[in-house]
Amino acid sequence: MSDAARRNAALLTGISAVVAFVALRSIVAIGGHEPLTIDVWWHDVMAAASSDVGIVIAWVPAVVGGTLGMILVGVALIVLLLRRDRRGDAATLAIAMIAVVALGATMAAVIGRTRPEDSLAESMATSFPSGHTAVATTVVVVLGIALRRRLVWVLGAIWVITMMWSRTYLAAHWLSDVVAGMLEGVGVATLVWVCAEAARDRRAAHLSATTPFPHPDESATTP
């Protein structure tokens, strides 16, 4: 796939994710921010499957994807990209992670959706969208687009699904919260990447236009 085609695909994916997020947000708002029918059903499924072992397992991605965990993971990934001389990708990842956290935290505070009453994790009314899921998705999508490795996409998808399961298993979020977090992450990651690529192109074009070319007479060899 050409670079132009990749950017167009990323842009289309990002716009689609934003539209889907807005649609889901509207549905939740129309319902008075109360859990949707599918939320209640999934919550009951998770509650029925709950066990001590399952709770311990669910806390692993919850901790890794928490504030401190994602700071450490983010720094480690950025350093790794820098060591591989991928400064542009490192900057894109950093910007995308900051953007998704700032955007998600603001929306969650403004929307103020109540979490399930039996939450084993957070209890603040900042349920929609899921920040853990949004950040996890953002990291996976940025790395997937930048590295172009199928293994990155496969492992990343498993990680995001695991995170979504973890947050609902611990009753920290409703199902619609984690779906919204996933959509937010996809939207932010793809649109930030597209903007970063466009900025790099403009910079490259500017440098090319301002770099003087040697005059043919200057490069000629004197006999």
pLDDT digits (tens, 9 = 90+) for 31-88: 999 999 999 999 999 999 999 999 999 999 999 998 889 999 999 999 999 999 999 9
Query: In which domain, by residue range, is 57 found?
Result: 3-197
Number of domains composing the chain: 1
Question: Is residue 203 in a domain?
Answer: no
Question: Is residue 210 in a domain?
Answer: no
Question: Is residue 181 in a domain?
Answer: yes
Question: Is residue 190 in a domain?
Answer: yes
Question: Is residue 179 in a domain?
Answer: yes
pTM for the model stands at: 0.89
Question: Is residue 43 in a domain?
Answer: yes
User: How many whole angstroms from its chain centre is CA 63?
Assistant: 17
Rounded Cα distance between 40 and 212, Å, is 66
- Tracing tokens 């609902």 back to the chain, one arrives at 168
pLDDT tens digit sequence for 128-150: 999 999 999 999 999 999 999 99
pLDDT level of residue 223 (50, 70, 90 thresholds):
very low
Question: Is residue 208 in a domain?
Answer: no
Alpha carbons within 13 angstroms on the beta-carbon side of residue 40 total: 5
Question: Is residue 137 in a domain?
Answer: yes
User: Helices marked H in 67-215 — which ranges?
Assistant: 67-83, 87-111, 131-147, 150-169, 175-210
Rounded Cα distance between 35 and 43, Å, is 10
